[in-house]
Structure 1
Amino acid sequence: MQSPQQPYRLNIKRGKKPASAPGISSFLQQSDKLSPLLPTVKRNISLQKECESFLPPIFGHCEVLNLHEDQLVLSAPNAAIASKLKQQLPKLLAHLQHRGWQINAIRIKVQVKKTVEKQQAVKQALLTPSALNAFKTLEDSLETTPQNEALKAALARMLSRNGVK
């Protein structure tokens, strides 16, 4: 028991340091390289929002790529949108200059984005027991001929997937 004159102290046993993930330490060591990018990212996001507010129908598909030496570089997903955007560039440039952005020119780059097609799920119909019985009857009643071979195999696969032997 501790005396009233001494403050309470916790006895903490020192053990091994917890293991750290190798990716975290390398990321933290590179944070000095990443921190200068933060103002550029914030500026590009602000420019993106400004352009989207001025040209909402067209600029929904476009992105701000870079602002370097008073030249803004925008990306467009295809040539058609790039040509529509090009017609609006003088108005956009005047708007951005009016809002205080130090921009003297705007360039457009067409950058086609890769689209990933989603794999279509195979639809599986739920068959009632009477439907399964009808397919089983059909499979049993078909003659064994070369013409019926593929149909009988398909019926057998469908019935086995649905638990009918």
Structure 2
Amino acid sequence: MSRFSRSSPPAGPARPQPLAEVLGRTDAFAALRAGVEQISALERDLAQLLPDYLATSVEPGFIKDGALTLFAAHSALAARLRHLEPRLVAELQQRGWNVRTLAVKVRPKTEARAPRPKEARMTPIGAAALRTLSETLPPSPLTAALARMAARHGAGQSAGDGKKNK
């Protein structure tokens, strides 16, 4: 017999619930929520304290024993953060953070996606016009490029040869 009995009525669509409500149900979720809120507040403070070029490339980690871990996108930014450490620690302490030192680590950001290949298509009339143009121009790299483009888009024949003679 199947785990999913056919005689039981369908449960229906789940009711959307606010995330705060879901995270407040158990102690484990409450601890997770507190950690997420702390990281979010730390991100806001860092965005205000750091120059724009750093704020967009630095992610806060955790605070353990007074050491705040910051993840920089590359080593040059990590070196810059290390130079800013005394000022940044002092400003974070003024904002109420229990931070005595920074631990700066490099964590490269992953590229979003590889660019999609071009999908532009040309109409047969446009390709034929390119072929005709390439035939009327004097020999040059431009003429060769136009001929290749026309051939790639299906104008292997010249504009006047569009129909076969019988």
The alpha carbon displacement at 1:135 in A equals 4.7
Q: Distance in 2 between matches of 1:156 and 1:88?
A: 55
Q: Distance in 2 between matches of 1:134 and 1:99?
A: 65
The alpha carbon displacement at 1:128 in A equals 3.1
Structure 1 pair 159–93 and aligned structure 2 pair: CA distance change class (3 A): same
| Percent identity of paired positions between Structure 1 and Structure 2 | 23
Superposition pairs of residues 66-145 of structure 1, within 5 angstroms: 66-115=62-111, 116-128=113-125, 132=128, 135=131
Q: Tell whether the 8 Å contact from 2:124 to 2:155 is kept in structure 1 after alignment.
A: no
Among candidates 24, 45, 51, match of residue 46 of structure 2: 51
Higher Cα Rg, which structure: 1
Match of 1:64 in 2: 60
Q: Distance in 2 between matches of 1:79 and 1:134?
A: 49
Q: With structure 1 as the length reference, what TM-score do the two structures score? A: 0.61
SS at 2:78 equivalent: helix
Unaligned 5+ segments in structure 2 are 1-6, 14-21, 135-146, 157-161
The alpha carbon displacement at 1:100 in A equals 1.2
Cα RMSD of the aligned pairs, angstroms, is 3.5
SS at 2:109 equivalent: coil
SS at 2:70 equivalent: strand
Structure 1 pair 20–104 and aligned structure 2 pair: CA distance change class (3 A): farther
The alpha carbon displacement at 1:95 in A equals 0.2
Q: In the comparison of the two structures, how many residue pairs are matched? A: 126
Q: Distance in 2 between matches of 1:96 and 1:42?
A: 16
Structure 1 pair 91–51 and aligned structure 2 pair: CA distance change class (3 A): same
SS at 2:154 equivalent: helix
Match of 2:10 in 1: 18
The alpha carbon displacement at 1:101 in A equals 1.0
Match of 1:24 in 2: none
The alpha carbon displacement at 1:86 in A equals 1.1
Q: Distance in 2 between matches of 1:125 and 1:18?
A: 51
